[in-house]
Amino acid sequence: MRASNRAAAEELSGRRVVWREGLGVAIATSAYGVSFGALAVASGLDVWQTCVLSLLMFTGGSQFAFIGVFGAGGIAALPSAIASAALLGVRNVAYGMRMSPTIGSGFFRRMAAAQVTIDESTAVAISQSTPPLRRLGFWITGVGVFIGWNITTLVGALLGDVLGDPKAWGLDAAAAAAFLALLWPRLKQRQAIAVGVAAAVVAAALTPFLMPGLPVLVAAVVAIVVGWFNWLGRDEKPSVSAEASV
């Protein structure tokens, strides 16, 4: 009886921790929505277009990339804006594959999960120790960020005209800050740092000569090339060891 009571108490304590962690991440992340809403309006979108973008796209990095390129180049840069947003959104496919066993089966459940599979919900989920806690962390964080992000996007869009020039409030730095927040945790290896620096140099060098958005896409080739050579290296290593064993 004592063992079962202890297990129940530990489970309840674990759920409380997950709730606190998930809601804390959701509140902190949602604050970016105000910046996004204001920047989107300043970039030429109206309030409804801004809100629909958050509802349907719902991945902060991709949204900031879209309005950054669109704001710099206007309607002519729309293909580059879409491509830049899609490029950053590819990571969510990997997150979906990682979270699939945790989410479970069911068409509607998976459809809902696909909408809230983002950096934050995945990070909170995989940091938990048991499948039930991982599932709880995923849904609390994902749904919390979705609701908070869309509310703050609306607030930011409505305040956009009142705030005036976003540079006067420092909102023009929000996109760069969001990208840095996404990039920083991944810079744990020398190779990752080298790829980031090389991509930045390529993008900066091409910016004066290409339309907005294209330098970022070209710079992404740096990561693709490095990944390709790494894949080739892993593929060749087994054959070398096999020859040595013979």
Domain end residue (candidates: 141, 162, 184): 184
What domain range includes position 223?
187-246
> Does 118 share its domain with 226?
no
pLDDT tens string, the chain, 246 residues long: the values are 566 666 666 667 778 889 999 999 999 889 888 888 888 888 888 899 999 999 999 988 788 888 877 877 777 777 777 877 787 777 788 888 888 888 888 889 999 999 999 988 998 998 888 889 999 999 999 999 999 999 999 998 998 766 666 556 555 555 555 556 555 555 666 666 677 777 778 777 876 776 655 666 676 666 667 666 665 555 444 444 443 333
> Does 76 share its domain with 150?
yes
> Does 126 share its domain with 191?
no
- Whole-model pTM: value is 0.70
Overall domain count for the chain: 2
> Does 133 share its domain with 177?
yes
> Does 245 share its domain with 172?
no
Domain end residue (candidates: 142, 159, 184): 184
> Does 16 share its domain with 105?
yes
> Does 136 share its domain with 200?
no
> Does 159 share its domain with 194?
no
> Does 104 share its domain with 226?
no
> Does 206 share its domain with 180?
no
**Alpha helical stretches, state H, the chain:** 2-30, 32-42, 47-56, 60-73, 78-89, 91-103, 107-115, 119-126, 131-163, 174-183, 190-206, 214-245
> Does 99 share its domain with 199?
no
> Does 207 share its domain with 135?
no
Distance of CA 13 to CAs 18, 71, 126, Å? Answer: 9, 47, 18
